[in-house]
Structure 1
């Protein structure tokens, strides 16, 4: 349950102002069909984070725990800095493919591609490696993505303009620093039971 709650909160905060959230806003404004967009985001996230969670869990099983602990420390430190850098959405991220794939298919393809190498994908890998758990992390990161994107899809500019994005990014960076501190504690003192 702990991996689920941590994953949900961290990814939900990391997604605020992220390029995939901006993509959700663009898709909602362009197509004005929230249900297929929400379903497309859900499918793309489940597939992307499923692969990411599997990779993280696999890395945790094949890399020596002491090396993995230091890799997790480094990934949380990098994420704490990376989250403070604002994302922009390239036109290539919002490719016009509606005629061939429909709104749902367009959302799945563009959202999946935009998520490749994105902050939330990297976080999913790191969390799965940290918790040695696939299902709790993938379920949590997917819920976090949906909590951040569904309001944007339904409320559009009204919601996005009122959100204190910088403050949310600072809060997310602080959470990554705290997670990194716990991972550092585990790396320095592997004999102690980690708090999470």
Structure 2
């Protein structure tokens, strides 16, 4: 349960303002919300399964203290990445706008590709180096889908008036806190 809750919280925060969240908003303007969330869920289940496997293997191969320090440094990097922000480039926007055929397949494939190497994938790998695999996998998936669902609902209600700066700084601060805690655990 601890791995589930930790992963849910970390990934939820990591997804705030992420480009895949922007994709969710874009797809939700063309397709039913349920279809968009189903595609996000399928893609996230697969990507985070690979992430948890990679993290578990790394965690088993490297002693706990260096893993904790590296994970802490990774989280500090995620804080910087969050402050830099993500945007959809024109190519990604046009792909989302042109999606044809099965909406579920279009959303699933787009999210799968968008998540490869994304900060939520890397954060899941990092969490899995120290936490139990199933809780990490399930929590990271629920956290991502919940953040994207929130973006769709809030985005539809508030449009462009979202306090993006506040969300960005709050997410970055959370990453700094997690990073410092992990580094201290590895050093002490």
Q: TM-score, normalised by structure 2?
A: 0.90
What is the aligned partner in structure 2 of residue 194 from structure 1?
Answer: none
Name stretches of at least 5 consecutive residues in structure 1 with no aligned partner.
190-196
What is the aligned partner in structure 2 of residue 83 from structure 1?
Answer: 82
Q: TM-score, normalised by structure 1?
A: 0.86
RMSD, matched Cα: 1.7
Deviates more, 1:140-149 or 1:106-115: 140-149
After TM superposition, list the pairs within 5 Å mapping 1:1-196 onto structure 2.
Answer: 1-29=1-29, 31-94=30-93, 95=95, 96-99=98-101, 102-131=102-131, 133-154=132-153, 156-159=155-158, 161-189=160-188
Q: Residues 84-127 of structure 1: CA distance to partner in whole angstroms, max 9, x if unpaired?
A: 1121112433523423xx10000000011111111111111111
Does the residue aligned with 2:92 lie in a helix, a strand or coil? Answer: helix
Query: CA contact under 8 A between 2:16 and 2:171: conserved in structure 1?
Result: no
User: For residues 171 and 156 of structure 1, do their structure 2 counterparts lie closer, same or farther at Cα, with a shift above 3 Å needed?
Assistant: closer
How many residue pairs get aligned? The number is 185
Q: Residues 144-165 of structure 1: CA distance to partner in whole angstroms, max 9, x if unpaired?
A: 1111112333564434534322
Q: Residues 46-75 of structure 1: CA distance to partner in whole angstroms, max 9, x if unpaired?
A: 101111111111100012223212211210
Q: Distance in 1 between matches of 2:176 and 2:4?
A: 19
Name stretches of at least 5 consecutive residues in structure 2 with no aligned partner.
none
Q: Distance in 1 between matches of 2:17 and 2:72?
A: 24
